[in-house]
């Protein structure tokens, strides 16, 4: 298996632009998570899905952030409009079942908003 | 809500020394899982170990060992005979048996192994 695949690896955009981050989970995994990593706040959960349905989006910082999972093999995290404080590394992770089977992380997308 | 504390922000040792990274967790659930991840300078999160709350046996994998003590809510990680390649940020994390809230991470410990 190729693991969790995220794209792009790096994204530089100007403030106010729309940014879309993409994630392909491991086939057969029924949970998908989006995390954000910053120096100040560490790794924080933004949203997670179970069987393509958003379960908890309480970590999404603002209405500018939205996430979708149209099918079991694809998810997007969108920021519109982007701001410099959104600069961070965004990780996608997937798992089979809850907790006990472990979580596999993608390589992350490093977002820089200038 | 659950919480994971890694009190050591940064540790620096000389190669071949043993080093222990501390992790203390808080949860009211009786079923939970504890994890350690390694984040090398390249940035990816590498899974090291998973432990469930009902298994307090210590584990050893090569130079790595883990000590899980429910009495002190700790899940410490020891690297024996450290090597430069061990230099990374190490994260301890917890997830509930229900799966709710995904992984809760500690702030991480930056481990520097000097040659």
- pLDDT tens profile A48-74: 999 999 999 999 988 999 999 999 999
Range in A91-105, B12-26, B75-89 the model is least confident about: A91-105
What average pLDDT score do residues B24-30 get? 95
- pLDDT category of residue A99 using cuts at 50, 70 and 90: low
B44, B95, B97 member nearest A105 (Cβ): B44
Q: What is the β-pairing status of strands B103-105 and B88-96?
A: antiparallel
pLDDT of residue A113: 98
Please tell me which residue of chain A has the smallest CA distance to B91. A43
pLDDT over 90 (residue A2): no
Cα separation, A40 vs A86, whole angstroms: 12
- Please name the residues between 35 and 94 in chain A that touch chain B, using a CB distance below 8 Å: 35, 42-45, 48, 50, 56, 89, 91, 93
A43, A93, A110 member nearest B91 (Cβ): A43
- pLDDT category of residue B98 using cuts at 50, 70 and 90: confident
Q: How many CB atoms lie within 10 A of CB B34?
A: 24
In chain B, which residues have their Cβ closer than 8 Å to the Cβ of A26?
none
Contact criterion met (CB < 8 Å) for B99 and A99: yes
């Amino acid at each position: 298996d190729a693991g969790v695949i995220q794209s792009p690896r790096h994204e530089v955009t100007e403030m106010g632009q729309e940014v879309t981050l993409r994630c392909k989970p491991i086939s057969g995994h029924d949970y998908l998570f989006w995390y954000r990593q910053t120096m100040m706040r560490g790794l924080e959960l933004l949203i997670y899905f179970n069987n393509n349905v958003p379960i908890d989006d309480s970590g999404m910082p603002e209405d500018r952030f939205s996430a979708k999972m149209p099918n079991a093999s694809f998810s997007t995290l969108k920021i519109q409009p982007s701001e410099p404080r959104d600069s961070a590394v965004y990780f996608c992770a997937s798992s089979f079942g809850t907790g006990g089977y472990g979580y596999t992380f993608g390589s992350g997308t490093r977002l820089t908003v200038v | 809500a659950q919480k994971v504390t890694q009190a050591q922000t940064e540790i620096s040792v000389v190669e071949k020394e043993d080093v222990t990274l501390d992790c203390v967790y808080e949860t009211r659930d009786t079923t939970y899982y504890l994890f350690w991840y390694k984040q090398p300078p390249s940035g990816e999160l590498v899974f090291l170990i998973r432990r469930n709350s009902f298994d307090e046996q210590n584990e050893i994998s090569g130079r790595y060992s883990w000590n899980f003590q429910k009495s002190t809510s700790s899940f410490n990680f020891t690297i024996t005979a450290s090597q430069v390649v061990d230099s990374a940020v190490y994260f301890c994390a917890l997830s509930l048996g229900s799966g709710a809230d995904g992984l809760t991470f500690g702030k991480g410990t930056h481990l520097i192994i000097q040659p």
